[in-house]
Amino acid sequence: MTSPPLVAVFGSLHYDIAVSGPARPRKGETVTGTSWHPKSGGKGGNQAVSSARTGVATAMIGAVADDDFGHFLLDNLQRKNVDHRFVRRNSSLPTGMSVAIFDADGDYGAVIVSGSNLTLGGTDIEAAREVLAETKVLVLQNEVPDAANVAAANAARQIGGRVLLNAAPARRLSAELAELVDILVVNGVEAEMLAAVPPVETLEDALAAARILARSYPDVIVTAGGAGVAYANSGGDEFTLAAIKITVASTHGAGDEFIGVLAAEIATGSSMTTAITNANEAAAKLVSTPEEDRH
């Protein structure tokens, strides 16, 4: 990659096994599936690929083991034009993986085993100083240790980059990390935890949560699934976008597609309104595309 990276993603890489069936099993139940396939995943990896797909120079900072899963993930980053020079190999733990079970409606549940993602830390940030020096937006998620995210956010702030945290999966953030976040993106479940609000089910709920979170973060985006997206910032600006009407094929990866496009748009100077609108459209397109047709 010859262009300086405008977006750097620090975070998780998972080898995903996607299983399709008529329904997700209940406790103690065995369900006969219809198909399965491997795919590259991890919120970090997915978001990096999504950003790179827009044509914006994107780098991935992560960790995999020297195993078949790790090689699969690195090959995918290579094919998708993601700069992966700063993905550490030969980790002391196996490459992270997940199993996602899809039902007939395209909804899913997943289990992740973090593996090598748990080894990320300050040494990986030091090794990637070269790439961070050119980064406009650093993207973080909650699939790596909080302390690792703090180290990455500190490094980005030192060189003037903006820190975008996709606070997923839901967990409490350390005060140290929260102070370093410029753009917070959460779904309804995560907003409910961080803003201490009732369940987010409507656009009005999402906007109310965004307003509360904007007291602590400069820019806040709350995605509310089929309802749409809400935005609020610390200066009092706010708006909502209704969801785009589509036929759902699979909801898997929609949030990561949104984040990747959002980061790429912000890094290239788009307004927040334009960035969120384009990210919303990209996520809707992905959701309407069957898993087997995604590239």
Please write the tens of the pLDDT for every residue from 59-78: 999 999 999 999 999 999 99
Map out the domains of the chain with their CATH numbers. Answer: 7-181+244-293 (3.40.1190.20)
* pLDDT on residue 73: 98
pTM of the predicted protein model: 0.91
Cα separations (Å) of 112 from 17, 143, 180, 185?
10, 9, 27, 21
Angstrom CA distances, 51 to 60, 128, 129, 260, 293, stand at: 11, 18, 20, 4, 19
Distance in angstroms (rounded) separating the CA atoms of residues 46 and 210: 25
Q: What is the mean pLDDT of the chain?
A: 93
pLDDT band at 91, cuts 50/70/90? confident
Which residues sit opposite 113 in a β-bridge? 97
Provide the 10 A C-beta neighbour count for residue 187. Answer: 22
Q: pLDDT-based confidence at 1, cuts 50/70/90?
A: very low
Question: b or e along 77-93 (b: 16 or more beta carbons within 10 Å of the residue's beta carbon)?
Answer: beebebbbebbbeebee
